[in-house]
Structure 1
Amino acid sequence: MTTLREKQREKRGREILDAATELISARGYEETSMENIAGQAEVGVATLYNYFGSKLELLHALFDRYIDEQLEEGRVVIENPPADVVEGMAALFSAYADGMARRMPKKLLRELTAVAFSRQFSYGKDTLSQKMRLRDQCRDLMEHYHARGQVRQDATADEAAMLCYSAISIPLTLFALDFGVTLEAAKESMRRNLELALTGLAPQGGTR
C-alpha cells in the first residue's frame, strides 16, 4: 500500500518534470539550469537534487515519462486490436503520433532527440533500451496477427515487428522534428509504408 509520504513524493516528482518540460520547451536544454527548474517547480535546489541527481538524470526521467505515455496510448489498441493487420499496426503507430502531438511540445521533442544522440547519452545507446519498449509493444500486437495466420509463418513476430517499426520511423521523426510534415501527413505516410511492408509479409498463396 502506498503511503501518504510516497504519494506526496510522486506528486512532487511529477511537478518537477512538468516544470522542466515547460522550461526546456521554451528555452532549450542547454539554456535551462537546475536552478531555473527548481524555481519553476517552487522547490529548493537541494530538494530538486534529492529527486534528480543531475540535469542529465532529469532528462532521462523526461524520456522515460514520454515512453510511458506512448505505451499507454498504444495499450488501447493492444487491448482491442482491429481485425486486419495493416489497420491494427497503423492504429498503433497513429496512437503514438496522436499522443506525441497532444502531450509533447515540438521544441521539447527536438531537444530530447538531439540530446538523446549526443555524447552525454553515448550517441543514442543510453536511450535505445527505452525506445525498444515501444518496439516490444509493436511485437506484442504482431504476435496477435501472427497467431491468426495474417503474417507468413517463416517470419517471426519479432522480425515482422522490427520491419514495421522501421517502416514508420522516418515519417514519425519528420513530424516530431517539425520538418514541415503535418500529423495527418505523417499518419498517412506511416500507413502506406506499413501496407507495403505487410504485403511482403502476407502468407504465401494468400492475402492478409
Structure 2
Amino acid sequence: MIETVLGYFEMGGYPIMTPIFLCSVFALAIILEKFLTLRTNHVIQPRMVDRIKKDLASGKIVDAIRICQTQNSPMSRIILAGLEATPSNARNRILDEGKLEAARLERYLTSLGTIANISPLLGLLGTVSGMIKVFFTINQQGLGQSQAMAGGISEALITTAFGLIVAIPALAAYNYFDAKVQHLVTHMEKNASDIAGML
C-alpha cells in the first residue's frame, strides 16, 4: 500500500503531490475536529437549558449559575455571561458572548473551504507541468517517443485525480459543517433570547 502511494507520488511529481497530500491531512484533521465539536448535545445541551429555565422560573439563579459552571459548552458559557451580569446588562452580555461562541464554532471552516478550492488548482498546476514535459519531449525527440512522453502524461493525470480526490470531500464537508453551524447558531440565539427575557 505504502509502495503504491509512493509510486503515485513519484509519477505525479513531489513538488505538486506534496502540497496536495498536506491539504488532505489538514482537511481530515479539520473534519474530525468539526465532527467532535459541532454535536448538538455538546453545543446546545438541551437538557441543561431546560433545567436552567426551570430554575430561573423558580427564582433559583444561584442553582442556574452552578449548573453553567459545571458544564463546558458554548450554550452554558453564553447563559453564564447573562447570569453573572446585572439585570439591565444581561441581554447585551448574552449577545456579546453569543457572537464569540458563534465565531468559535466557525473556526477552521475558512481553512477547509480554502483547501477545497486550492486542491483542484494544485492538480491543474500538475496537469500543466506534465503537459509542458510532454511538449518538451516532442520538441526534443519527436512524436515517436511514446515512452518518453508517458511520464509527463502520467504526471498530468495523477495530479489532477488526486487534487479532485482531496477537493470533493473537503467541499462536501465544508458545506455540511457550514449549514450545521448556522443551524446551531439559530438554536443558540433562540435559547439565549428566552433566557434573556427571563432575566
Q: Same fold (TM over 0.5)?
A: no
More helix by share: 2
Ranked by relative contact order (alpha carbons within 8 Å, sequence separation 6 or more), the top structure is: 2
TM-score relative to the length of structure 2:
0.30
In our comparison, the structure showing a higher alpha carbon Rg is 2
TM-score relative to the length of structure 1:
0.29
